[in-house]
């Protein structure tokens, strides 16, 4: 390294460090947001599959009206998946 570049880094090391840390924090934030969105999409997909599986089991068409207890069970399973997503990937 020549003297010019050495003096630039020597004079601005704190600013460069601050920019690097800021970029890292922003990257982590958006990565977690992406993972949260993916997890929630998978939870919705699983909910729809479980619902359709129960409809098939009761010999009804897709997206049918299920008995209340069965519908509540599927809804509770979906809520649990959703809560797991927020617990893993949310900043709150």
Do 43 and 82 form a contact (C-beta atoms < 8 A)?
A: yes
92: pLDDT confidence band, cut at 50, 70 and 90?
low
CA distance 45 to 60: 19
Kindly report, residue by residue over 58-75, the tens digit of the pLDDT. Answer: 888 777 888 999 999 999
Kindly report, residue by residue over 15-52, the tens digit of the pLDDT. Answer: 999 999 999 999 999 999 999 999 999 999 999 999 99
CA 8 from chain centre, in angstroms, equals: 40
4: pLDDT confidence band, cut at 50, 70 and 90?
low
């Amino acid at each position: 390294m020549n003297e010019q570049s050495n003096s630039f880094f020597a004079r601005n090391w704190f600013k460069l460090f601050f920019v690097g840390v800021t970029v890292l924090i922003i990257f982590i934030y958006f990565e977690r947001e992406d993972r949260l969105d993916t997890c929630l999409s998978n939870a919705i997909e699983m909910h729809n599959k479980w619902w359709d599986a129960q409809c098939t089991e009761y010999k009804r068409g897709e997206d049918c009206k299920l008995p209340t207890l069965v519908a509540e069970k599927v809804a509770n399973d979906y809520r649990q998946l959703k809560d797991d997503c927020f617990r893993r990937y949310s900043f709150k």
